[in-house]
Amino acid sequence: MQNPAFIATELNAALIEIQKAAAALYLFTDKLTLLKMVHHVVVKIIQAVDLVQKELKQTASREKAFDALESSTSVLFLEEVVDADTMSELEDYILSFAKQLDDEDLIRFLSEIMDKVEIKYNALLEKTHEFNALLKNELE
């Protein structure tokens, strides 16, 4: 059994990595109407991470901390967001919008934006997946 303080530190480090990736995507999508779908997901991820960090800080023992995290709706959300198909939904939305345009340069620009969003979103999902795997490993 690993040291409970080490596990809490490891979980917090993973949460901080999620925050960094989320902050980058948040700034990129902020106030961009076509990207609001992703922006809303990022806001929810940031809120979930904040709640998980509070739950970790509020519990006195390792067992209580993991009991709280095991039943946490925030942790459940972080598990579900990895499986959600937000990028496909955004791509469908952008493509339907692009079909209405008759400007190849603008369509190419939208594709480039989508590529950048996808890179940042995938980095966020990777960090979230790492946290989920770390937590799952500790709960088993």
Q: What percent of the chain has pLDDT over 70?
A: 92
109, part of any domain: no
pLDDT of residue 69: 84
- Annotate 35-96 with DSSP letters as a single string: GHHHHHHHHHHHHHHHHHHHHHHH-SSHHHHHHHHHT-HHHHHHHHHHH--HHHHHHHHHHH
Paired tokens of 27: 């700034």
Are the C-beta atoms of 69 and 61 separated by less than 8 Å? no
Among 48, 70, 46, CA closest to 59: 70
110, part of any domain: no
Res 5 pLDDT > 60: no
111, part of any domain: no
Res 98 pLDDT > 50: yes
The predicted model gives 41-61 an average pLDDT of: 89
Distance CA 50, CA 36 (A): 21
Domain tally, the chain: 1
Categorize the per-residue pLDDT at 124 as very low, low, confident or very high, splitting at 50, 70 and 90. very high
pLDDT of residue 2: 52
Are the C-beta atoms of 61 and 111 separated by less than 8 Å? no
Residue 55 CB contacts under 8 Å (≥ 6 apart), including other chains: 65, 68, 69, 72, 74
* pTM reported for the whole predicted model: 0.88
Its domain, for residue 43, covers 4-84+121-139
Among 122, 126, 99, 109, CA closest to 32: 109
Are the C-beta atoms of 121 and 25 separated by less than 8 Å? yes
pLDDT of residue 1: 46
17, part of any domain: yes
Res 73 pLDDT > 70: yes
